Amino acid sequence: MSATVQQCTACSSVMFPFRLFCPYCGHWEFADHQVDDAVVEETTTLADGAVIATVVCGAGARLIARIVGGEVSQGDKVALSNEPDREPGVFAYIPFTPESRY
Amino acid sequence: MTASIIATGETPYTRHPPAATTTPQVIAEAVRRALSDAGLTPQDVDGFAVSSFTLEPDHAVDLAWRMGFELSWLMQDTNGGASAGGMLQHAIHAIEAGDASTVVVAAGDLMDRNAFSSLVARYNRATEQHLSPLPLSGPNALFAMLTSRQMRALGLERSDYGKIAVAQRRWAAKNPGAVYRDPMSLDDYLTAPMVADPLGRFDCVPPVTGADAVVVAADERVAGRRRARVLAVTASYNSDNQTGDGLQTGLQACAPPAWDRAGISPEEAGVIGVYDDYPAMVIAQLMDMGFITAGADVPKFIDSSIFTGKLALNTSGGQLSAGQAGSAGGMHGLVEVANQLLRQAGDRQTDARFGVVSGYGMVLYRYGACANMAILESVA
């Protein structure tokens, strides 16, 4: 289980959503980078009970996710997935399809 | 700068527009009111700027054609809550460059349930691909998390934000055009249904159908009449690549040059229109513009300056009480501050000499990326 983010091939900075030029060094070539988990910074519970979270991965990119399969608290490490319905366990769903990168 | 706002127009705002209502019709109504206020006819207009989320398949030139404008300057803006400042900035430069002398700046939207749903679902590519499938409809959850960050950073509680909403509702009671005018107590605010914690119903703007317009004219053509002279307009786009916490807006960068060009300080501003998509953004922008100084006791500022009405802030009731007419959300604040400086703000009239308007908007992924600020002076 992991989520795809974008990594600059020149300066190794990690971005999400995918950019056209690297905001840190201006380079324009990138590789996909798989991130297994991230730390929960904030959550909010919507009127329908869904929990939306901001999570920050080790390389620094902040992602907006839906928490699936259980509860998390601020500061928790949570697994990431680009699939909304994966195996049991708590994870943060990050919508992404490879064809929508750019 | 050598141009002024000489007139304003705002349609009635409505939560439930009649079935046959169209966006061009609503925008034209605001333009008609602004021209009438200016004592001008469509034949006097030589510049036109418009912003709308729901204008398609038409464009700015279609509106110009259907309103009978023959123009030497035309622009269309796409920056939602920041469109007013952006269009004003360009309009002033067009007048100063001699490209136009009488410019109508307008924004408006037909914002019924369907229009709002499709707007927020396809707001941009990032929203369509990474937020809507969560599923998420609209930016409430994003600003809920931003509000949580601000609460931690500044020691704010829900009741502090409630005081902003309640204060604006008090102003709205004096504005016949506001969609929500009934008195609201702090308790009403705190007990309203939660939308996305910590945001409740009264932290969120009511989408309305409506439009706003102003007429901007070269100063030498309008000498002797009451006008809102534009002293400065500055803007910022994508100030941090969406990598920060969203608690600072682009105003942090573009406010200092605005104060410098206008030659006044925040203390001299007698009326302030802050883009109020959420109360947290009111605080963020007041800080970025220098109305709340670094290190200040923010809860105390809210209580003593905003809640008391001492600060003439969002005197129309703001979008929180008057309504958010789509892309006209930014124009609403400009129209209100201009009305104050033109001395046509009715029961809520202040004696402000200087007015400040901020724009903020276009959520790219986590928060807004566009911000701008205009400083105006009432002259006669």
CA distance A58 to B75: 44
Look at residue A102 and tell me if it is in a domain: no
Cis check for the bond before B17: say yes or no (omega within 30 of 0). Answer: no
pLDDT higher than threshold 90 for residue A86: no
Q: Which residues of chain B have pLDDT under 70?
A: 1
Count of domains observed in chain A:
1
Determine, yes or no, domain membership for A20.
Answer: yes
User: What pLDDT is recorded for position A1?
Assistant: 84
Tokens found for residue B157:
């509680």
* Interface contact B20, partner A, CB < 8 A: no
Residues A21 and A29: beta-carbon distance below 8 Å: no
ipTM of predicted complex: 0.98
In a domain, A78, yes or no: yes
Domains and CATH numbers, chain B: 3-113+213-227 (3.40.47.10), 123-202+232-379 (3.40.47.10)
Residue B232: what pLDDT? Answer: 98
3-state class (DSSP) for residue B103: strand
Closest residue of chain B to A92, computed from CA coordinates: B134
User: Domain residues for A91?
Assistant: 3-97
**Are residues A42 and B145, on separate chains, in Cβ contact within 8 Å?**
yes
B236 closest CA partner among B338, B64, B370: B370
In a domain, A60, yes or no: yes
With beta carbons under 8 A apart, name residues in chain B contacting A42: 145, 148-149
Q: For residue B173, how many other CB atoms are within 10 A of its CB?
A: 17
Question: How far is the alpha carbon of B207 from chain A, nearest alpha carbon, in Å?
Answer: 18
State whether B133 and A100 contact (CB < 8 Å): no
Terminal-to-terminal C-alpha distance of chain A:
23
Cβ <8 Å between B149 and A42? yes
Tell whether the model's pLDDT for residue A88 goes beyond 90: no
Bridge partner list, B10: B212
Say whether residue A60 is in contact with chain B using an 8 A CB cutoff: yes
For A6-58, write each residue's pLDDT tens digit: 999 999 999 999 999 999 999 999 999 999 999 999 999 999 999 999 999 99
- Gyration radius of chain A's alpha carbons: 14
Cis check: omega of the bond before A88, within 30 degrees of 0: no
pLDDT digits (tens, 9 = 90+) for B252-276: 999 999 999 999 999 999 999 999 9
B122 has a chain A CB within 8 A of its CB: no
What burial letters (b/e) apply to B309-338, b meaning 16+ CB within 10 Å? eebbbbbbbbbbbbbbbbbbbbbbbbbbbb
Give pLDDT, residue B1. 67
Q: How far is B58 from chain A (nearest CA, A)?
A: 28
* Domain membership flag for residue A70: yes
